[in-house]
């Protein structure tokens, strides 16, 4: 694939949770939006991967979302057995919000198993959730340093944790929603420009009551253009260069 031909990047989007899933894939193709379709369970990945097979710009990531671990933790073995079939893993990670804290130990067990398998298979490109658990996610990544290239999606931890994440080789995907808050902007300014990708996290994120679509990652380009004080076209070029660099990394 000629990655440089993409116009935009949405590196974390739940395409299968929109009602018109396959129409959106077609629209991503038409608009040349490199879209990583993250999944919440390994069963969901199969359909995503089938649909992504014939596309130039859409890729499916094999995931087990930390917020559904209490229901689907038994699917971790299935997920691990499918890792050889894909280059992309996500959405995985930990969620330390009050409603998910009771299964934190289970979440950690699942995350460790997945990272261990990624390492054994030679590394993967991994999209990670770390809400209220950035320290614990970084501990796991540090422990499994050969798991591949971690991309922390919508990072919302402390600046100290962000610096630690950078030092252990993490990448970051930032979306319009993250860049709406001052905290999110301050964090984004600390991310090295060559380690940043754009995302939407749709359909969970909304604008004027409507779910963000992959093309709304344009909003992140505009916000970064203000933050970095360079033109939107320069930001776009940087993000597309970063995408190419990421996809060329030999350990994933």
| Angle (deg, nearest 10), helices 159-167 and 134-143 | 10
Least Å distance, CB 130 to Mn ion, is 11
Query: From residue 241, how far is each of 56, 126, 195 by CA, in Å?
Result: 17, 19, 10
Of the two residues 133 and 238, which places its CB atom closer to Mn ion in the complex?
Answer: 133
Q: Which residues of 143-159 are buried (b: 16+ CB within 10 A; e: fewer)?
A: ebeebbbbbbbbbbbee
Select 10 or 201, whichever has its Cβ closest to Mn ion. Answer: 201
DSSP string, 126-158: EEEE-TT-HHHHHHHHHHTTTSEEEEEET--S-
For the chain, the maximum distance between any two Cα atoms, rounded to a whole number of angstroms, is 47
Nearer to Mn ion, 201 or 238 (CB): 201
Q: Shortest gap between Cβ of 241 and Mn ion (angstroms)?
A: 24
Please state, in angstroms and rounded to a whole number, the distance separating the CA atoms of residues 61 and 87.
8
Which residues of the shown chain bind Mn ion in the complex (CB under 5 A)? 91, 201
Residue with tokens 């995408």: 243
Closest approach of Mn ion to the CB of residue 12, in Å: 6
Which C-beta is closer to Mn ion: that of 11 or that of 57? Answer: 11
Which tokens is 46 given? Answer: 């199969």
Minimal distance in Å, beta carbon 250 to Mn ion?
A: 27
Please, where are the H alpha helices in 2-65? 21-31, 42-53
CB of 38 to Mn ion, least distance (A): 6
Residue nearest to Mn ion (CB): 201
217, 9 in Cβ contact below 8 A?
yes
CA distance 121 to 52: 22
Which of 82/152 has CB closer to Mn ion? Answer: 152
Min dist CB 7 to Mn ion, Å, is: 22
Nearer to Mn ion, 90 or 238 (CB): 90
């Amino acid at each position: 694939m000629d990655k440089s031909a993409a116009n935009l990047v949405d590196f974390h989007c739940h395409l299968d949770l929109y009602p018109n899933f396959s129409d959106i894939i077609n629209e991503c193709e038409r608009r040349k939006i490199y879209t990583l379709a993250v999944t919440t369970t390994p069963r969901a990945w199969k359909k995503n991967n089938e649909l992504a097979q014939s596309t130039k710009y859409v890729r499916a990531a094999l995931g087990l979302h930390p917020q559904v671990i209490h229901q689907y933790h038994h699917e971790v073995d299935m997920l691990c057995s499918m890792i050889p079939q894909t280059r992309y893993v996500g959405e995985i990670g930990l969620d330390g919000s009050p409603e998910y804290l009771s299964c934190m130990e289970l979440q950690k067990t699942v995350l460790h198993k997945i990272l261990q398998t990624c390492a054994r298979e030679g590394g993967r490109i991994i999209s990670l959730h770390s809400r209220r658990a950035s320290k614990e996610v970084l501990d796991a990544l540090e422990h499994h340093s050969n798991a591949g290239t971690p991309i922390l999606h919508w990072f919302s931890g402390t600046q100290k944790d962000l610096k630690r994440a950078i030092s252990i080789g993490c990448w970051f995907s930032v979306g319009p929603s993250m860049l709406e808050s001052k905290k999110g902007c301050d964090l984004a300014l600390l991310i090295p420009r060559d380690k940043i990708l754009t995302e939407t996290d749709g359909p969970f994120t909304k604008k004027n009551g409507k779910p963000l679509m992959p093309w709304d990652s344009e909003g992140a380009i505009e916000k970064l253009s203000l933050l970095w004080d360079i033109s939107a076209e320069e930001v776009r070029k940087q993000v597309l260069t970063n995408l190419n660099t990421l996809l060329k990394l030999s350990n994933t």
